[in-house]
Amino acid sequence: MPVGTLGTVKGVSQDVLEELGVQILLGNTYHLYLRPGIDQVRKLGGLHRFMSWHRAILTDSGGFQVFSLSDLRKVSEEGVTFRSHLDGSSHFFSPESATEAQIGLGADIIMAFDECTEYPADRGRARNSMELTLRWAERSKTYFEGHKHEVPWRTDGAVPSAPTQDGPTQVLFGIVQGGMDLALRKESAERAIEIGFPGYAIGGLSVGEPRSLTREVVEATLEYLPKDKPRYLMGVGTPEEIVEYANLGVDMMDCVLPTRAARHGLLFTSEGKISIKQARYASDQGPLDPNCRCRTCSRYSRAYLRHLCASNEILGQILNTIHNLTFYLDTMRSVRHSIGLGSLEQGKGPRLLSGEQSQLKP
Amino acid sequence: MPVGTLGTVKGVSQDVLEELGVQILLGNTYHLYLRPGIDQVRKLGGLHRFMSWHRAILTDSGGFQVFSLSDLRKVSEEGVTFRSHLDGSSHFFSPESATEAQIGLGADIIMAFDECTEYPADRGRARNSMELTLRWAERSKTYFEGHKHEVPWRTDGAVPSAPTQDGPTQVLFGIVQGGMDLALRKESAERAIEIGFPGYAIGGLSVGEPRSLTREVVEATLEYLPKDKPRYLMGVGTPEEIVEYANLGVDMMDCVLPTRAARHGLLFTSEGKISIKQARYASDQGPLDPNCRCRTCSRYSRAYLRHLCASNEILGQILNTIHNLTFYLDTMRSVRHSIGLGSLEQGKGPRLLSGEQSQLKP
């Protein structure tokens, strides 16, 4: 899932995203709550209509953003008081208000409000944080069940006094926490499943821990999550990591890396990472990635991209982002192809196992 | 002509420019000379190939940019010494070196090196400046005639020791100066015609003078320029102005206004100018311009554009620029249509004069 924090994947218009084959975008509740505001998006028919994006959207709960962006946050049983990173104004998110906000935005998939446990955290702290997240998950679900019919695309913008109970609603995913403690992760997963969600996310990773530890926790946690429901690893990762985690059984991932790196001239290619700002590319007439067919690689030279980057031209950010997203989406297409072959193989015998699949295996 | 200062029309990719129907772009010699450098562009096959733009390009002479961007410039008979606005380094442009630079960039139309007379200037100063521009025009033409076969697209990048004399070359336009003095403008035009160019530009306007004076000088100067050669008014203007000057007989214009204004949220519409940042548009679900069919107007609401602008999102600059360029290009298409009807009318009688044409007349 490309990240479209404020209702836009930075630098790329919606028609290009469609052309790239993007099926689902992530929006950040914390950012959209501050700008343009939940009521505003609700009045305008919800996030899909507001940004003219007719494919799927997932919004996060705001929990991670409060954790990572807001300096003066204060956590209580009730919720989190935090200051806006924009103007320092004070705000409050609870499981109820964060769920209400996500219903107002109207994404297809929304997330239970959780506390993202910091790293490192001792066992006592990780347990308390996990318990809080479980209580908040209950409250998120209760609020969601009582209000899920109030999405703007069911109510034409305004919350009706008596919403109808029929028709499609959003779905609410639960989040597993537990720090880096495998026993706590197991317990968190099992108790989240007890509450019951149509999909489960693994949260609290990519918070500064070593990558080997991330993998260990992911692998251990996946074991306890149902295979027949979407399993979503939040905030991951590099192209190598998304292949690795997909092969472990993760179904969904989101990361700002492809888009943010692109804006800084860091590009992922079939021949490795490239920092296009380097002087060595100033006379390079070749395409960014000879194995890529995106708009950027099929038309422009490395020399031109390097010039755009060195000159701080907007077009550099645009073309770089288009390429990095293509690279990520191609990577996932390749993973899906490989999984498809693997499934075939289970039914029809080993000779359908392709070289491509073995390459993708970690 | 949209302005593509550094080899890119800020915020819009070349395929979108093609889709908008852009026939010719302007590149700035001064900027390209500093970044990525003339030799660099020459080595990469010239500006067309460097930026992957296969339609026409015009480059300015660098004279106006030195005048407007460089603080410490020193003009002598030989040329202009100036400091880079990027790093303060010292550089020198002469009619010969500026023409050489433009041959290296390889645009289809290049401009004689001129001195843009400041405003206000007394008659003595305006005459001296005009005389200098005429001597420089001679020198530009002499250099051009001796070196026009050295364009990169004829020589595959390197300057050959014995370039062939056959095949297409660039064309060099002359520039009329003379300050705001109509007699000097007449003399400047007549003496430029004596030197002989395939097209003529009116320079030294839009330098701070009132608009009524601009119009007076343009109208007076046009009288002395041949109707059967392109007449190019440099650095103009608003949508109203381009209609007005086209109707006076101007064939070509360039201006940063549509693109620069777009990046600041100032949009030209069939209903007048709009500053999309204003809070009044925050809930406006209508299209930016109901009479426009561009990608922006056909997909996004004013509320969304307002949000992108208020949040400083790149996509706001992209979508705004696409709209403003469409508005300018539509304006010129309408002018051409009107001129076509007018020509028909001369041959076939007055009833072919359309209402649209009368509207466009100043």
Average pLDDT over residues A48-77: 90
What are A222's two structure tokens?
């996946």
The shortest CB-CB distance from A35 to any of B7, B45, B311 is to B311
Residues of chain B in contact with residue A35, where contact means CB-CB under 8 angstroms, are 307, 310-311
Task: Write down the pLDDT at residue A350.
Answer: 36
A261 in Cβ contact with A232 (< 8 Å): no
Q: Which of A324, A305, A327 is nearest to A316 (CA)?
A: A305
Which residues lie closer than 8 Å to B256 by C-beta, 6 or more apart?
A: B3, B5
Residue B200's beta-bridge partner residues?
B174, B231
Residue of B nearest to A285 (CA): B44
The amino acid sitting at B264 is: H
Does A72 contact chain B (CB < 8 Å)?
Answer: no
Instruction: Say if the Cβ atoms of A314 and B318 lie within 8 Å.
Output: yes
pLDDT of residue A342: 84
- Chain A interface includes B352 (CB < 8 A): no
- Subunit contact A13:B314, Cβ cutoff 8 A: no
Instruction: Chain B: give the shortest CA distance to residue A307, in Å.
Output: 6
What separation in angstroms does the CA of A55 have from each of A58, A65, A108, B40, B296?
A: 10, 24, 9, 43, 19
Structure-block tokens of residue B154: 């004829």
The SS3 of residue B170 is: coil
Which pLDDT value is given to residue A66? 85
Catalytic residue positions of B, numbered: 60, 254
Q: Is A50 within 8 Å of chain B by CB?
A: yes
**Can you tell me the distance from the alpha carbon of B126 to that of B114, in angstroms, rounded to the nearest whole number?**
13
Q: Which residue type occupies A199?
A: G
- In chain B, % of residues over pLDDT 70: 91
- Mean pLDDT, residues B157-183: 81
**Residue A54 contacts B where some CB pair is shorter than 8 Å:** no
Residue range B338-361: mean pLDDT, rounded: 54
Facing residue for B315 by CB, picked from A11, A36, A44: A11
Task: Characterize B78-113 residue by residue with b for buried, 16 or more Cβ atoms within 10 angstroms of its Cβ, and e for exposed.
Answer: ebbbbbeeeeeeebebbbbbbbbbbbbbbbbbbbbb
Q: Which of A127, A156, A47 is nearest to B303 (CA)?
A: A47
CA A284/CA A50 separation, integer angstroms: 41
Q: How far apart are the first and last CA of chain A?
A: 21
A314: nearest CB among B43, B311, B314: B314
Whether B16 contacts chain A with CB within 8 A: no
pLDDT tens track for A130-175: 999 999 999 999 999 999 999 999 865 555 445 566 788 999 999 9
Amino acid found at B272: G
Of A8, A52, A282, the CB nearest to B40: A282
**Three-class secondary structure of residue A91 per DSSP:** strand
Tell me the count of A-B CB pairs closer than 8 A: 108
% of chain B exceeding 90 in pLDDT: 86
A175 touches chain B (CB under 8 A): no
Backbone angles phi, psi at B224, to 5 degrees: -100, 0
Q: What is the mean pLDDT of residues A196-202?
A: 98
* Structure confidence at residue B328 as a pLDDT band (50, 70, 90): very high
With beta carbons less than 8 A apart as the criterion, state whether A304 and A326 touch.
Answer: no
The Cα–Cα gap between B350 and A362 comes to 79
Residue numbers in B near A11 (CB within 8 A)? 314-315, 318
Residue A349 has pLDDT above 60, yes or no: no
CA-closest candidate to residue B75, choices B111, B112, B35, B117: B117
Considering only CB atoms, A308 lies closest to which of B8, B295, B315, namely: B8
Over residues B263-299, the pLDDT tens digits come to: 999 999 999 999 999 999 999 999 999 999 999 999 9
Residue type, B268: F
H or E stretch including A345? helix A314-348
- Within an 8 Å CB–CB cutoff, is residue B317 touching chain A? yes
Q: Is the pLDDT of residue A346 over 90?
A: no
Q: Is any Cβ of chain A less than 8 angstroms from the Cβ of B312?
A: no
Dist CA A247 CA A362 (whole Å): 8
Give the model's confidence band at B72: pLDDT under 50 very low, under 70 low, under 90 confident, else very high: confident
Contact A40 B282 (CB under 8 A): yes
Report DSSP letters for B57-72, one per residue: EEE--SHHHHHHH-SS
The mean pLDDT of B204-225, rounded to a whole number, is 96
| Residue to substitute from A47, A52, A304, A317, interface B, most B β-carbons within 10 A | A304
B247 in A contact zone (CB under 8 Å): no
| CA dist A17 → A8, A52, A329, B171 (Å) | 10, 12, 11, 41
pLDDT digits (tens, 9 = 90+) for A251-294: 999 999 999 999 999 999 999 999 999 999 999 999 999 999 99
Say if the Cβ atoms of A299 and B15 lie within 8 Å.
yes
Whole-angstrom CA distances from B139 to B75, B79, B98, B185, B195 are: 16, 11, 11, 20, 10
CA distance to partner chain A, nearest, from residue B241 (Å) = 28
Q: Report CB contact under 8 Å: B299, A14.
A: yes
Residue of chain B minimizing CA distance to A284: B44
**Rounded-to-integer distance, Cα B353 and Cα B345, Å:** 6
Yes or no, beta carbons of A304 and B10 under 8 Å apart: no
> How many alpha carbons fall within 13 Å on the CB side of residue B117?
31
pLDDT above 60 for B161 = no
pLDDT band at B225 (very low <50, low <70, confident <90, very high): very high
Q: Which residues of A touch B12 (CB under 8 A)?
A: 315
* A233 and A252 Cβ atoms separated by less than 8 Å: yes
Interchain contact A40–B (C-beta under 8 A): yes
Q: Which two tokens stand for residue B351?
A: 């009833």
Q: How far is B100 from chain A, CA to nearest CA, in Å?
A: 21
Chain B residues inside the 8 Å CB shell of A12: 315
Decide: helix, strand or coil at residue A268.
strand
Distance from CA of A213 to the nearest CA of B (A): 35
CB-based contact B12:B325 (threshold 8 Å): yes
* Residue B95: closest CA among B110, B108, B105: B110
Q: Does B304 touch chain A (CB under 8 A)?
A: yes
Place of tokens 């008014």: B233
List Cβ neighbours of B283 (8 Å cut-off, separation of 6 or more): A40, A43, A44, B303
